[in-house]
Amino acid sequence: MPHGPEEKKQALDVGAECPAIVQQLAAVSGADNGLMATVMESYLREEFPSSEIRSDSQNKSIDETISIVRSYLR
């Protein structure tokens, strides 16, 4: 199975099975989205004051934002 974008295009051009390529693209997309969500969560939790200093309202806002980001990236 080709790995790079250009290799995938070439494989399709020469008649490779489209479902296999689409499945691989979906897997890569899912992995990218999972990584993005993890990085965003890490950033939000580290950028704001430590959890001992944050108010309940701030913690709730951070949790809600992370939930929205994760929902969007699904």
Amino acid at 31: A
Dist. CA 14–CA 10, nearest whole Å: 6
Segment 20-49, tens digit of pLDDT: 888 888 888 899 999 999 999 999 888 877
Question: Which pLDDT does position 21 carry in this prediction?
Answer: 85
Domain spans in the chain, listed from the N-terminal domain onward: 18-72
pLDDT at 1 over 70: no
Q: What is the pTM of this model?
A: 0.66
The count of C-alpha atoms lying within 13 angstroms of the C-alpha of 10, restricted to the half-sphere facing its C-beta, is 7
33-36: long-range contacts (C-beta < 8 A, 24 or more apart)? Answer: 33/73, 33/74, 34/73, 36/69, 36/73
Segment 9-25, tens digit of pLDDT: 888 888 888 888 888 88
Q: Any idea how long the chain is?
A: 74
